[in-house]
Chain A
């Protein structure tokens, strides 16, 4: 069974700071996805990365897929309180034919 490990589990920072969240696995994934989930809501897809070494930018968010397609990172520049939420990485487990999720990084940005 493929697993996705996220770190850190929890992050509390001041508005304006930068941060990086990691998603690691010992398995190769054909693609990885990042979601953000806010309290009382379901996860919302932020990005899908499919090519090893790929870098995608979404405003202040930068997503990178590792060259070996076993890991990914999410970097937020100048975090804002609106970035507060649970960040989840997800990948498709080709053995089980299902989407698996990391445990998530809970981010709190203080004003």
Chain B
């Protein structure tokens, strides 16, 4: 079974531009979560999509948005890029919506490294 794939792997943008990142979950998985990883803040939750609906959102400004398609593929968009948006963006897929138990296994992709100049 193929793992989680993310494209592109590397991206360089300038301040003020916008960017779209893509994530293809493991076949059959309907939950996709996005995380931002930086050396200073670690891994931080952005949002989760399940069956094309955003289920939860982390504490990020409205410049960060996402969507999920009927085939469970997900995209994340960041508008008006700032220097501080430079990070590794990870997506993770799961077969079930993350429950209050939190014991569901999340499978992470390799990430997209975004550099904002």
Give the B-binding residues of A (Cβ under 8 A).
29-31, 33, 35, 40-45, 48, 50, 88, 90-92, 94, 96-104
**How near does chain B come to A30, taking the closest CB pair, in angstroms?**
5
Residues of chain B in range 82-117 having any CB-CB distance to chain A below 8 Å = 90, 92, 98-103, 105-111
Does any Cβ of A come within 8 Å of B64's Cβ?
Answer: no
A42-B110, A88-B43, A103-B42 in contact; A98/B56 too (CB < 8 A)?
A: yes
Additional A-B contact list (19), CB under 8 Å, known A42-B111, A104-B43: A30-B101, A30-B102, A30-B103, A31-B101, A33-B103, A40-B110, A41-B110, A41-B111, A43-B43, A43-B108, A44-B108, A48-B103, A90-B43, A94-B100, A96-B45, A97-B56, A97-B100, A99-B102, A103-B42
Is there an interface contact between A92 and B101, defined as CB atoms closer than 8 Å? yes
A102, B110: Cβ atoms closer than 8 Å: no
- Asked if B105 and A45 sit within 8 Å, CB to CB, the answer is yes
B interface with A by C-beta (< 8 Å)? 4, 33, 35, 42-45, 48, 55-56, 58, 90, 92, 98-103, 105-111
Q: How far is the CB of A98 from chain B (nearest CB, A)?
A: 4
B4 A91 Cβ-Cβ under 8 A: no
Specify which chain B residues have a CB less than 8 angstroms from the CB of A100 in the assembled complex: 45
Measured CA separation A48–B103 after assembly (Å):
7
Query: How many Å lie between the Cα of A91 and that of B4 in the bound state?
Result: 21
